[in-house]
Amino acid sequence: MFLKKIELSGFKSFADKTVISFENGVTGIVGPNGCGKSNLTDAIRWVLGEQSGKSLRTGSSMSDIVFSGSESRKPVGIARVTLVFDNEQKIFDSPFEEIEITREIKRSSGESSFYLNKTPCRLKDIADLVMDTGLGRDSLSIISQGNISSFADARPEERRLLFEEAAGVAKYKKRKKTSLAKLENVHANLERVQDHIDHLNEQLETLREQAQKARQYKTWKEELSGIEIALLARQISACEESLKKCTARLEQNQLDESSAKVRLNQQEDQLEQLRKQIFELDQQLSMDQNTYTKTLEESYALQRRKVEQDEKRKYAIDHADDATRIASLKEMLTEAEFEMKDRSSRLSEMRDRLTQTDAQIRQLEHAMHQAQMDLSSNQNHLNSLQSRKMVLENRLAAPYAHQQGVQAVLKARASLQGIEGAIGDLLRSDVEYAAMLSAALGGASEQIATRDDRCARLAIEFLKRSRAGRATFLPLSVCKNRSLFPDQQIIADHAEGILGRAVDFVSCDQKYGILASHLLGNILVADHLKNATEAAKTLKYKVKIVTLDGDVVHAGGSMSGGSRKSSNNAAMLKRDLEEVKTSIEKGTKKIQEITSSISDLSSKNNRLSENRIQLRIDYEKLENIYRLKKEKVDDLQAQLSSLNAYANTGSSVIEEDSLVAQISEIHARLDDLNSMIQVSRTSRSELASQADSLEGEIRQLRRTLSSLSSEIHSDELEKARTETRMEQALMRLNTDYSLTFEAASEYTCELAEKEANSRVKKLRSQIASLGDVNLSAPAQYDEVSAQSEFFESQKEELEAASSKLLDAIDEMDQSMIVQFTEMFNKINAQLDGIFKAMFGGGRASLSMTDPENILETGIDIDVQPPGKTVKNIQTFSGGEKALIAISVLFAILKARTMPLCIFDEAEAALDQANVERFARYISRFKDQSQFIVVTHRPGTMAQCDTLYGVTMQKDGVSRVLKVLLKDAAKMSQSNSQSS
């Protein structure tokens, strides 16, 4: 016994779990048409790996084998079939004595799962297990009526497959197929290896020349480097010496400036003190003059009184005409009052002029103080602008000095391949768009464009080898034209403030148009940030937008902006430099204007001060005259009153003497006051002279300070330039040669400066004459040589593998030829006897269509039934063909024992006599093979040892039960009647 049992669940019409146990001998499966008995054969084929839905009589999908339901039964979700085999005789190559193979499929996914002894496995594992056991998917162990017809009607080449299965050469064919695939792979690898070898040999020829050029370049470059390092060391030493002198001169000028500022402050304070003293003297003079005037008035009053006394006495003596005197006095009084009023009006005007002059002086002093502060502030700002100008000029001369890697590549571009330049230099714009372009490019402006990715890799290797820093490269070969999507372009065209795409504002060489499009083709430009944010919102933040001021709304919604950081973009640097130069011109002009204004203000102040002093003196004189006129008016009024009163009394001699004494005292006081006034005026004149002298010294100090400031600025510029030259030299040492100044100082050059520069020029010309130099050529040559040797060894190994595989294939071919020939002869030897038994005589034989090509020959069957001539199988009737095919199958079974044979209505086309012969012949083999026969022919049933009946009720579900022979006959009769 080989197949012990089969378990079905959900498979086709077997909706319920069904278990069929098999015994030794012949087991028959009977039942009426449509009951599902052939589904048992399909189940066995399915478990053993059948993948064809047509062979399993299903629909287009394998999941159709799952029970789909009926009017009274619901469909099930999974189909599962298990075969249990007895492996005591080790038919299967497995240590287990019982083999259980299960396959299941789910309706939902349509995917099959396989299990071997309940362990998940692959279809391939099942196929390998049953290979050469006679149970393969295309084996002769499962024979149906369709197989019989197919075998009889098959072409000789197709019929050969059955004989190959019988010969057991499937494993050889599989191994041969694998070996041929390996051989094909080996040949493909050989072609690839040979292509590599050919390509490497071409490279070696090129690299040999490049390596020679690289060695010459290295020799000249080392000499050039030695001279340049020595010259740089000399330059740095000279710069250090110059810096020492410049620093000492700068420090001295700064000390002189500080000392001059101290002196200026002191003299300005001293001038302020002098002006204060002059003001106090002016006040004292005014007081003294007032006192002098009052004393003079007292003198005049006493003299008038004395005159009155004299006149009274004279009046009394002379008895003059009073009427005439009165008239005369009135006329004199009128004239005196007119003069007094005139002096009063002039005094008022002079007071206004004094007040106005004082206000003007205060305004001038405030303006001078403010102008001095403006001068200092503008001078500091101008110094800052000069420093900024020098920095920008240096940066414009070396825009990528802070990017060591970028600067190193750009300096070495003559010796590198395909270096186009920094992107910020390749893409240009007008000055007004410089900020926009800088913002649009961002960090890409400092990237280096290369011809292709190979040139970028070579440049990176150069940076690594020379330890010159890092840089980012963009190969032109990877650049693509970029633009907005059509819907985005439509929105941009109608958005307020959108000026266009950034690429439209850029100019560049034609070859860099793809670079501009790659970086700027999908970036929009807006006039200002508000419109940029509105447009970005409309575009759902999927497009980057930059403004003319350099603000950015990034794709995604983030924004960047604010004051601009200094850029390395040449246009931006030039723009900043022009702005700084313009500011310097304006600042210089402003300082000149302020200096001129201070000089004018100082002159005006001096004139106003002098005018004020003169006005004060004139005012005091006029004030004295006014008092005299007023006293005269008062005196005339008194005389007139006295005359009108006919005063006729005289002064006593005592009163007259007293008046004379008082007048003498007042005259003495007047003399003292006049002396004091003269002394004050002399002192004021001296102080004014000192103030004028100080003002001259202050002007000279200011000129000195201005000169010192210019010298200091000049020294600072020279120092900065020297420091820049020294830093550039140090940077060259570090960037180009990875050396410090101390290390460079050890390099010596016997040549003088002029000769050294001449040699440098010649070496550079020689190096330039070499053209592009592949510095890595020697190493590449060694590397390619090693690769060539490696591929040669690979070629030898592959050729050896190919020879070995060909030998193995030849060996397998010989084994298949031997086994196939032996099996063919065995089957052919058995066929004639079986044919005679099945046909009651006659003869039959097999023949090869191409005996010279055993591996591919077809199989023909030549048959001579009793009493007839020899014919090919194709010329017989259907029943005869079936009997001939069955004869061949029995011949195969006799030549090679099969552990299990399944006949699914294979004898359906035979008549009753031949069915009985067929059944009897099966019985002859039941001791060596297990037979399962699906049939409805009584003759076949009669030879079965065990019978199972398959029935189907109205629910559309197949059921299995053991039956007796008589019941099987009834089923067969029922089947015949239904037919």
What is the arithmetic mean of pLDDT over 251-265?
Answer: 88
Number of helices (H), then strands (E), belonging to the chain: the values are 22, 23
Residue with tokens 């002399």: 682
Ligand-binding annotation for 32, yes or no, is yes
Ligand-binding annotation for 36, yes or no, is yes
> What's the CA gap between 561 and 500, in Å, rounded?
20
Res. 723: pLDDT tops 70: yes
Q: What is the pLDDT of residues 470-512, one digit of tens each?
A: 889 999 999 999 999 888 999 999 999 999 999 999 999 999 9
Identify the residue with better confidence: 502 or 569: 502
> What's the CA gap between 589 and 696, in Å, rounded?
24
> What's the CA gap between 134 and 928, in Å, rounded?
14
Res. 43: pLDDT tops 90: yes
Domain 400-568: give its CATH code.
Answer: 3.30.70.1620
> What's the CA gap between 975 and 972, in Å, rounded?
5
> What's the CA gap between 177 and 539, in Å, rounded?
60
- Give Cα separations from 728 to 231, 300, 327, 391, 572 (angstroms): 13, 92, 107, 13, 22
Res. 321: pLDDT tops 70: no
What is the arithmetic mean of pLDDT over 809-818?
Answer: 89
pLDDT class for 724, splitting at 50, 70, 90? confident
> What's the CA gap between 435 and 429, in Å, rounded?
10
Q: How many CB atoms within 10 Å of residue 652?
A: 10
Q: Are 704 and 260 in contact (CB under 8 A)?
A: yes
Q: What is the pLDDT of residues 431-440, one digit of tens each?
A: 788 889 988 9
> Which pLDDT belongs to residue 336?
67
Ligand-binding annotation for 33, yes or no, is yes
Q: C-alpha 241: how far from its chain's center?
A: 46
> What's the CA gap between 42 and 56, in Å, rounded?
6
Q: What is the pLDDT of residues 728-739, one digit of tens each?
A: 888 877 777 778
Res. 565: pLDDT tops 70: no
Q: What is the pLDDT of residues 290-318, one digit of tens each?
A: 887 777 777 777 777 777 666 666 655 55
Query: Domain locations in the chain?
Result: 400-568
pLDDT class for 948, splitting at 50, 70, 90? very high
Ligand-binding annotation for 246, yes or no, is no
Average pLDDT in the chain: 83
User: Nearest CA to 528 among 559, 572, 497?
Assistant: 497
User: Nearest CA to 92 among 114, 116, 115, 113?
Assistant: 116
- In the numeric block, which tokens belong to residue 10? 């959900």
> What's the CA gap between 516 and 921, in Å, rounded?
89
Res. 448: pLDDT tops 90: yes
pLDDT class for 325, splitting at 50, 70, 90? low
> Which pLDDT belongs to residue 113?
94
pLDDT class for 572, splitting at 50, 70, 90? low
Q: Are 97 and 86 in contact (CB under 8 A)?
A: yes
> H-helix or E-strand containing 672?
helix 653-737
Q: What is the pLDDT of residues 676-698, one digit of tens each?
A: 888 888 888 888 888 888 888 88
Beta-carbon-side half-sphere exposure of residue 322 (alpha carbons within 13 Å):
13
> What's the CA gap between 84 and 787, in Å, rounded?
58
Ligand-binding annotation for 77, yes or no, is no
Res. 319: pLDDT tops 50: no
Q: What is the pLDDT of residues 67-89, one digit of tens each?
A: 988 888 899 999 999 999 999 88
Describe the crossing of helices 170-318 and 156-167 by its angle, rounded to 10 degrees.
Answer: 100
What is the arithmetic mean of pLDDT over 94-104?
Answer: 93
> What's the CA gap between 687 and 268, in Å, rounded?
15
Identify the residue with better confidence: 397 or 426: 426
Contacts of 2 (CB under 8 A, 6+ apart): 85, 86, 91, 899, 900, 930
Res. 892: pLDDT tops 70: yes
> Which pLDDT belongs to residue 345?
76
- In the numeric block, which tokens belong to residue 337? 């009052």
Q: Are 569 and 548 in contact (CB under 8 A)?
A: no
pTM of the model: 0.43
> What's the CA gap between 268 and 124, in Å, rounded?
110
pLDDT class for 657, splitting at 50, 70, 90? low
Ligand-binding annotation for 87, yes or no, is no
- Give Cα separations from 617 to 29, 252, 286, 630 (angstroms): 156, 50, 8, 20
Res. 853: pLDDT tops 60: yes
Q: Are 918 and 26 in contact (CB under 8 A)?
A: no
pLDDT class for 893, splitting at 50, 70, 90? confident
> What's the CA gap between 747 and 753, in Å, rounded?
14
Ligand-binding annotation for 455, yes or no, is no
Greatest mean pLDDT range, 110-124, 244-258, 341-355, 765-779: 110-124
Phi (first) and psi of residue 903, to 5 degrees: -110, 120
Q: What is the bridge-based pairing of β-strands 900-904 and 142-144?
A: parallel
Phi (first) and psi of residue 932, to 5 degrees: -125, 120
> Which pLDDT belongs to residue 167?
81
- DSSP states along 146-200: HHHHHHHHS-HHHHHHHHHHHHT-HHHHHHHHHHHHHHHHHHHHHHHHHHHHHHH
User: Nearest CA to 863 among 878, 879, 847, 848?
Assistant: 847
pLDDT class for 140, splitting at 50, 70, 90? low
- In the numeric block, which tokens belong to residue 110? 């349509």
> Which pLDDT belongs to residue 449?
94
> H-helix or E-strand containing 419?
strand 419-422
- The percentage of residues in the chain with a pLDDT greater than 90, rounded to a whole number, is 20
Identify the residue with better confidence: 597 or 325: 597
> What's the CA gap between 829 and 850, in Å, rounded?
19
Q: Which long-range contacts (CB under 8 A, 24 or more apart) does 184-187 make?
A: 186/798, 186/801, 186/802, 186/805, 187/802
> Which pLDDT belongs to residue 317?
53
Q: What is the bridge-based pairing of β-strands 448-450 and 473-475?
A: parallel
